Amino acid sequence: MSTLTDRPVLRLLPKANARAIRRGAPWVFDNELVMDRRTRGIAPGTIATLVDHERAELATVAVNPASKIVARVLDRAQVEIDTDWMSARVEKALSLRERVYGAPFYRLIHAEADGFPGLIVDRFGDTLVVQPNAAWIDALLDPLTAVLAAVTRCTVVLKNASGRGRTLEGLDDADTVLLGQAPTAPVPVEMNGATYMADVVGGQKTGLFYDQRENQAFAARLAQGASVVDIFSHVGGFGLAAAAGGAKSVLCVDSSAPALELATKGAGAMALGDRFATRQGDAFATMEALAQENRRFDLVVCDPPAFAPAKPALEKGLRAYERVARLGAALVKEDGYLVLCSCSHAADLASFTGACLRGMGRAGRRATLIHTGFAGADHPQLPQLAESGYLKALFFRL
């Protein structure tokens, strides 16, 4: 824990936009700061004071000179970053989730939008899975764990180190148990009338993607009496919601056998095994194979991984989204529905929509857009940070 008296000071260059910081911008990059030898020698994770070029105080920040994001704004006042500060922010985050959701299954902390830059915390009942994707969080992990347990009364806290941000911050990739004992079996999660099996120890990311909750609920409304295929299904996100919504048949496609096994267990827990099937394989190759088999569906959902995780990958990513749209559109029956999703923050809504329209056009299909979805309320957006509004879901009728 730092004290106000012994903090280092970071100074903005004259050309830097101090007004943006005062208005809520959460990041300060290396090209905006005086990066002298003293600044470069600050240990990653150190709490510091940010000042403008005239040395007027701007914010309390967390520093990592090894990252392009050298400073992350923690508070626009000069405050102690201690357990009281953490507790107040965790309590605020929890109050929102408890107001919106009736069961303890949600994203509890969504990084900058909840006042914890670089921190992700997902809740699975009495278990919390923490992704500390910034050096300052890593340095304060022990007191943070104690605060999380005290505020939420959760008995298990796990560290998941798979986040891409940890690599960019120069952090390790070691998963650990921070509190309690790790679950030895998947955690059942009740959501949208479906039962999902979350592997919080060995699964992808934290074990389940909560961000698609509202979009899965909308898809379930389209699925009643429908044949459904869920491409890039992971543990059955859209497919199980569709089954719970009354789909007559559901096929989940994913490259991961363990993920499909969890999806099958979820269907079994819902007693819907007779209407549920899986197919393991590369999503692109499987969509091509389904088309060659003359398989057509009333509802096709494509929820791929981030094809454009950063700006350098944008052009290639948009081509991939276009290909997904083309192959997915070929599987949709007349007057059926195609759901196309992107979790790439580098691909904004307009760019992603354009790629989808090009793909569907190449498939010879005419589409109307009936709904646009985003992440749920447990993934709040920080208006000054475009990256926090990463998820897009487009619902088309073909």
**In the chain, where the domains are located:** 4-75, 83-179, 188-397
Q: Look up residue 267 and give its amino acid.
A: A
**What per-residue confidence (pLDDT) applies to 310?**
86
Shortest CA distance to 321 belongs to which of 338, 335, 302?
302
Instruction: Please provide the CATH number assigned to the domain covering 4-75.
Output: 2.30.130.10
Q: Supply the angle between the helices 237-244 and 213-222 in degrees, to the nearest 10.
A: 50
Q: Which of 154, 252, 341, 343 is catalytic?
A: 343
Q: Which residues pair with 107 in a beta bridge?
A: 122
| Residue 154 among the catalytic residues | no
Which stretches does DSSP call E strand in 16-125?
27-29, 46-51, 57-63, 69-75, 105-110, 119-124
Tokens describing residue 17: 């936009």
**What per-residue confidence (pLDDT) applies to 6?**
83
Q: Quick count: other Cβ atoms within 10 Å of Cβ 161?
A: 17
**What per-residue confidence (pLDDT) applies to 187?**
96
**Which overall architecture, per CATH, does domain 188-397 show?**
3-Layer(aba) Sandwich (3.40)
**What per-residue confidence (pLDDT) applies to 193?**
95
Q: Look up residue 54 and give its amino acid.
A: E
Shortest CA distance to 16 belongs to which of 3, 1, 29?
29
Q: What is the 3-state composition of the chain as percent helix, strand, coil, each rounded to the nearest 5?
A: 35, 25, 35
Shortest CA distance to 104 belongs to which of 204, 183, 188, 214?
188
Phi/psi of residue 387, each to 5°?
A: -60, -25
DSSP 12: B
Topology adopted by domain 83-179 = Transcription Regulator spoIIAA (3.30.750)
- What is the Cα–Cα distance from 239 to 223, expressed in whole angstroms? 9
Residue 138: its H or E element: helix 135-139
Phi-psi region at 187: left, alpha or beta (left = phi > 0; alpha = psi -120 to 50) = beta
**How would you class 173 by CB atoms within 10 Å of its CB: exposed for 0-12, middle for 13-18, buried for 19 or more?**
exposed
Shortest CA distance to 30 belongs to which of 69, 72, 81?
69
Strand, coil or helix: 164: helix
95 Cβ neighbours under 8 A, 6+ residues apart = none
**What per-residue confidence (pLDDT) applies to 68?**
92
Shortest CA distance to 179 belongs to which of 206, 143, 210?
143
Letter string b/e over residues 282-321, b meaning 16 or more CB atoms within 10 A of that residue's CB: ebeebbeebbeeeebbbbbbbbbebbbbeeebbeebbebb
**What per-residue confidence (pLDDT) applies to 203?**
85
Tens-binned pLDDT, residue by residue, of the chain (398 aa): 555 768 999 999 999 999 999 999 999 999 999 999 999 999 999 999 999 999 999 999 999 999 999 999 999 999 999 999 999 999 999 999 999 999 999 999 999 999 999 999 999 999 999 999 999 999 999 999 999 999 999 999 999 998 888 988 999 999 999 999 999 999 999 999 999 999 999 888 899 999 999 999 999 999 999 999 999 999 999 999 999 999 999 999 999 999 999 999 999 999 998 999 999 999 999 999 999 999 999 999 999 999 988 889 999 999 999 999 999 999 999 999 999 999 998 999 999 999 999 999 999 999 999 999 999 999 999 999 988 889 999 999 99
**What per-residue confidence (pLDDT) applies to 204?**
82
Q: Between vectors from CA 76 to CA 43 and to CA 6, what angle results, nearest 5°? A: 40
Tokens describing residue 134: 């910034």
Q: pTM for the full model?
A: 0.94
